[in-house]
Amino acid sequence: MSSELPVVEDESQQIHNHVGHDHSIPHSDSHGELPMVESDGHNLESDRPYYACSYCGISNASCVVKCEICNKWFCNGKLGNRGSHIITHLVLSKHNSVSLHPDGDLGDSTLECYNCGNKNIFVLGFVSAKQENVVVILCRLPCAQQKDSNWDTTEWQSLIEDRQLLSWVAHHPTDEDLINASSITYDQIIKLEMKWRLDKNATIEDLEEEKEVEIAPILMRYTDPYQYQRSFAPLVKIEADYDKAMKESRGLNYISVEWSLSLNNKHLASFYFSTSDSADLKVAVGDEMILRYDGPELDAPWEGSGYIIRLPDARQEEYTLEMIHSAKLQKPPIHITNRFTAEFVWKGTSYERMQDAMKVFALDSKSISEYLCFKLLGQDVPDVFFEVNLPEDLSIPKMPSLNASQLFAVETALKSPLTLIQGPPGTGKTVTSATIVYHLTHMYKKEKILVCAPSNVAVDHLTEKLTKMGIKVVRLVAKSREDVDSSITKFCLHELVKKKAKGEFKKLIKLKEELGELSASDNNTYFSYLRRYERDILNTCDVVCCTCVGAKDKRLDKHKFRTVLIDESTQAAEPESLIPIVKGCKQLILVGDHQQLGPVILNKNASQAGLRQSLFERLIVLGHTPIRLEVQYRMHPCLSEFPSNMFYDGSLQNGITNEDRQVLNSSFPWPIRDTPMMFWAVYGREEISVSGTSYLNRVEAMNVERIVTRLFKDGVKPSQIGVITPYEGQRNYILQYMQMNSTSTNKDMYADIEVVSVDAFQGREKDYIILSCVRANSQQLIGFLRDPRRLNVALTRAKYGLMILGNPKALNRDKLWNHLLTFYRGKGCLVEGQIDNLQLSSIQLTRFQPKSNDFINSKPTRSTTSFDAASLVSYEGSTFGTRRKNPLLDDSKWPALDASGGAPGNFHAHDDDTDTIVSYSESSELHNTHRGNGNPSEEIDEYDDDELANNIKKLTAQFGGELVF
């Protein structure tokens, strides 16, 4: 298709650039090819024209669009709030380019960037000519960013709005079209998409009725480890199967492959993706991929697999696979370069390790002490204490001196076989954990301690704290993560091996690095050395740090650990925590906070049956009292006020003062001096990201850059700033935007700023946090921003200042966000306008009728009860315990919770949500994904549906709140 086609110059087909003016575009009449309608009103499949919507059969030429990847047609009609059929298809199938019908308004054309030819519909938008009445299609980055004298590029708008193509691109179906359409549910669409992967011609009639599977929920108490295993194993399996199905449905678009030969005569396949695509895919060296070809140049389809040996870096976008050779396999078709597809091979290692751990727990009585075994099963056993000589002074040189409750936690943990430590953000849970580990290494000189957390980020964080105390730590990372650079790389086992290597081994390492491979005999020598070095290093260290899943690493097989500490343990599903525990644990310390993000469970049924519950939470419900930490040392007191009242019943106290967090000579335009917080109302719109599975917001990204620039002016260093956002699409966009808009002299400074997903920032802190909320649409859907636990994490990362960027119109309808906005307004910190001239925002906020015990602007109430186990049960939805009086829960009707059938927190991907999933299996250890490197599973989520809208309506009616738009 010619790249000039999108410019419509024919007089009769001029396009107005105002979306609202689509009525001025001539409606083409139906071109005679109306769907055949049987007397009973049903369409006859076979009688439909070739371009009928593959979902619903609508075949009005001006409403349908062809997917260029699979050649199927789809209409631009909407299904509830989920998006039009064509967009739904593109998102679910990961296809992304389309062409229009010859009889439509714009004629037969493939939509592509006028400038660079990019066909990804998710990045395309239009701008109008300054002179004539024509528009041109340009991609969001880089083409729409370039200044052009002919085109008004600042007015660029996406071709997709509210998950539907603009109506001048493809009409929305008429009422008549809709009457003739066959009905199809979203569930059916998902199943159909799955089916198409195996059979391109499948239709809705081919879908079988699926039986609802009954899943037994987990129990509170178990008679023996067998019963325990029988209870959890099926849930882990369901989750694994689900994850697998989702992962496998993530095929890529057509790619071009360049073939070459490696030194040892293996075929190498190299291919490119666009930057953002690759950033959306979480892959690591060593991952297996399948390449396929079933185009016209071969008689039969070809398929082969290989391992990734090279990933794109900052300068190039090439992936290289080393193809697996085998006599049985067909040789790669190296004469062909186009129309390949590539797919990732799913690895279920983390699920297998969970299943293994449960088996070991059941079969091996030495896997865990009897006392802990009883505790885990929920049986009553009298409390016991170890007889130990506690060090006289529990504080550690060069570390902040601990407060009374922290000291109490340390002392108790050292004496007890099982300790739970709970506390809001910044209360020193991680510092306390590190102190405990420090003393344990001195008390048990011969024993190694296993220190874990569910995510790589949290493990790294803890490793750093431990090494600062002078403890001999080895950080064990999965083989596939060995080349992921981090601040603690020098403590990683593979790095320590390299550093210690001598003589022949050292030479072999060098040779391997230079050549990429070794001869068979050299390889054997290399590995025997490697194992010996690894063994020696592990034998002489005091502490091993790894993720929970990583605790089952082969290199630790011979090691037993009498003491296990798990930080962020509320983020792990119970079978995941079990992995480190069954390595001989006699003393267990679990640290966590139930009000921060919980485990990511993809399958709704498994989640609801209890897989979302952490061991930490179950133990508390069973009556095991945690030690609570309540004094925070992170945030400026103005920043802890809202989270304290909202999420912790006002119980969070400040261990630091305003003066401790005062910044002298700051020129940053905080709305209120000495109150370093602001909600900057910006009115951009959300757009679907390149991958089709996430969102971005350009206006917010632009303003993030402005804030950063202002902070630099004050001499703030990049390492002091963290930009966090719930959406991966926005994360990528901000990274790109900041690179494009920085000058060459300060490029490095912008590049050094961490831009991370909220989920990946759990447990961490920065001096300044900029939070970009992203969501802004006419339906006021805010997706997984509604999770109170995610908001809590986001609000509690900053030490000196917090800037929130968001669209209050979109956020204000959610009660939780409404409270936040009201709070910021009350403080005089809800502003809008230009950064150098911020004004108090005059936006009207929905007024939820104040309830008698409304907490906003009321004095924090110090909780007087000692400890109430039920308060640790996650918001709503728990099968255990009753709710504590928590301001959040008083209204008992949180749409976020009700809409998902009572699922709390981090449950953000569902069976009708195939577009949204990043595999969990690869998450924690094996690959470099959300929990590893910091991405939540994505993101275009199911809460955005009619149910939500209804809920909001109901809610508003119920509280007598007025609706303000």
Ligand X SMILES: Nc1ncnc2c1ncn2[C@@H]1O[C@H](COP(=O)(O)OP(=O)(O)OP(=O)(O)O)[C@@H](O)[C@H]1O
Segment 627-646, which members bind ligand X (CB under 6 A)? Answer: 633-634
Segment 864-903, which members bind Zn ion (CB under 5 A)? Answer: none
DSSP string, 720-766: GEEEEES-HHHHHHHHHHHHHHS-TTTHHHHHTSEEEETGGGTT--E
In angstroms, what is the minimal distance from the CB of 748 to Mg ion? 30
DSSP string, 331-397: PP-TT--SSEEEEEPP--HHHHHHHHHHHHHHH-GGGB-HHHHHHHHT-------------S--S-T
Among 429, 775, 827, 930, binds ligand X (CB under 6 A): 429
Among 25, 134, 137, 139, binds Zn ion (CB under 5 A): 139
The alpha-carbon radius of gyration of the chain (Å, integer) is 29
Compare residues 139 and 413 and give the one whose CB is closer to Zn ion: 139
**Separation between Cα atoms, residue 536 and residue 558, nearest integer Å:** 12
Nearest alpha-carbon partner for 661 in 636, 641, 693: 636
Q: How far is CA 857 from CA 165, 644, 677, in A?
A: 44, 12, 16
Q: How many residues does the chain have?
A: 965
Among 66, 95, 790, 797, binds Zn ion (CB under 5 A): 95
**Separation between Cα atoms, residue 165 and residue 330, nearest integer Å:** 43
In angstroms, what is the minimal distance from the CB of 634 to ligand X? 4
In angstroms, what is the minimal distance from the CB of 436 to ligand X? 12
Compare residues 181 and 458 and give the one whose CB is closer to Mg ion: 458
What is residue 267's three-state secondary structure?
strand
From Zn ion, Mg ion, ligand X, none, which one binds at residue 406 (CB under 5 to 8 Å depending on kind)? ligand X
Is residue 75 near Zn ion by the rule CB under 5 A?
yes
Compare residues 70 and 245 and give the one whose CB is closer to Zn ion: 70
For residues 39 and 168, the answer to whether their CB atoms sit within 8 Å is no
Is residue 763 near Mg ion by the rule CB under 5 A?
yes
Segment 214-253, which members bind ligand X (CB under 6 A)? Answer: none
Segment 756-785, which members bind ligand X (CB under 6 A)? Answer: 763, 765
Is residue 115 near Zn ion by the rule CB under 5 A?
yes
Among 291, 431, 621, 791, binds ligand X (CB under 6 A): 431
In angstroms, what is the minimal distance from the CB of 939 to ligand X? 23
For residues 599 and 568, the answer to whether their CB atoms sit within 8 Å is no
- How buried is 334 (Cβ within 10 angstroms: 0-12 exposed, 13-18 middle, 19+ buried)? middle
Compare residues 243 and 567 and give the one whose CB is closer to ligand X: 567
> Which of these ranges, 26-34, 196-204, 347-355, 419-427, lies near ligand X under the rule CB under 6 A?
419-427
How many residues touch ligand X under the rule CB under 6 A: the total is 18
Q: Look-up: residue for tokens 């493809």? A: 170
In angstroms, what is the minimal distance from the CB of 906 to Zn ion? 31
DSSP code of residue 626 = P
Compare residues 425 and 932 and give the one whose CB is closer to ligand X: 425
**Cis peptide bond upstream of 142, omega within 30:** yes
Among 107, 117, 301, 400, binds ligand X (CB under 6 A): 400
In angstroms, what is the minimal distance from the CB of 703 to Mg ion? 30
What is residue 544's three-state secondary structure?
strand
681: β partners: 806, 832
Is residue 660 near ligand X by the rule CB under 6 A?
no
Q: What residues contact 498, with CB distance under 8 A and at least 6 apart? A: 509
From Mg ion, ligand X, Zn ion, none, which one binds at residue 736 (CB under 5 to 8 Å depending on kind)? none
Segment 291-320, which members bind ligand X (CB under 6 A)? Answer: none
Among 110, 157, 158, 427, binds ligand X (CB under 6 A): 427
Segment 384-443, which members bind Mg ion (CB under 5 A)? Answer: 429-430
Is residue 402 near ligand X by the rule CB under 6 A?
yes
**Going residue by residue from 35 to 64, which x/- string records binding to Zn ion, judged by CB under 5 A?**
------------------x-xx-x------
Compare residues 95 and 612 and give the one whose CB is closer to Zn ion: 95
> Which of these ranges, 88-96, 434-442, 468-476, 875-883, lies near Zn ion under the rule CB under 5 A?
88-96
**Separation between Cα atoms, residue 842 and residue 825, nearest integer Å:** 10
Count other C-beta atoms under 10 Å from residue 957's C-beta: 10
Among 378, 426, 783, 801, binds ligand X (CB under 6 A): 426
**Separation between Cα atoms, residue 614 and residue 617, nearest integer Å:** 5
Compare residues 428 and 887 and give the one whose CB is closer to ligand X: 428
Compare residues 56 and 466 and give the one whose CB is closer to ligand X: 466
Among 57, 417, 423, 801, binds ligand X (CB under 6 A): 423
**Separation between Cα atoms, residue 493 and residue 543, nearest integer Å:** 12
From Zn ion, ligand X, Mg ion, none, which one binds at residue 788 (CB under 5 to 8 Å depending on kind)? none
Compare residues 207 and 484 and give the one whose CB is closer to Zn ion: 207
In angstroms, what is the minimal distance from the CB of 684 to ligand X? 29
**Separation between Cα atoms, residue 959 and residue 709, nearest integer Å:** 43
DSSP string, 161-177: ETTEE-TTTSPPPPHHH
How many residues touch Mg ion under the rule CB under 5 A: the total is 3
SS3 track for 442-499: HHCCCCCEEEEECCHHHHHHHHHHHHHCCCCEEECCCHHHCCCCCCCHHHEHHHHHHH
75: β partners: 64
Pairing of strands 587-592, 418-422: parallel
Pairing of strands 64-67, 98-100: antiparallel
**Going residue by residue from 576 to 615, which x/- string records binding to ligand X, judged by CB under 6 A?**
-----------------x----------------------
> Which of these ranges, 68-76, 166-174, 422-430, 949-957, lies near ligand X under the rule CB under 6 A?
422-430
Q: How far is CA 400 from CA 403, 407, 410, in A?
A: 9, 12, 14
Is residue 430 near ligand X by the rule CB under 6 A?
yes
Residues that bind Mg ion (CB under 5 A): 429-430, 763
Residues that bind Zn ion (CB under 5 A): 53, 55-56, 58, 67, 69-70, 75, 77, 85, 93, 95, 113, 115-116, 118, 139, 143
Residues that bind ligand X (CB under 6 A): 400, 402-403, 406, 423, 425-431, 593, 633-634, 655, 763, 765
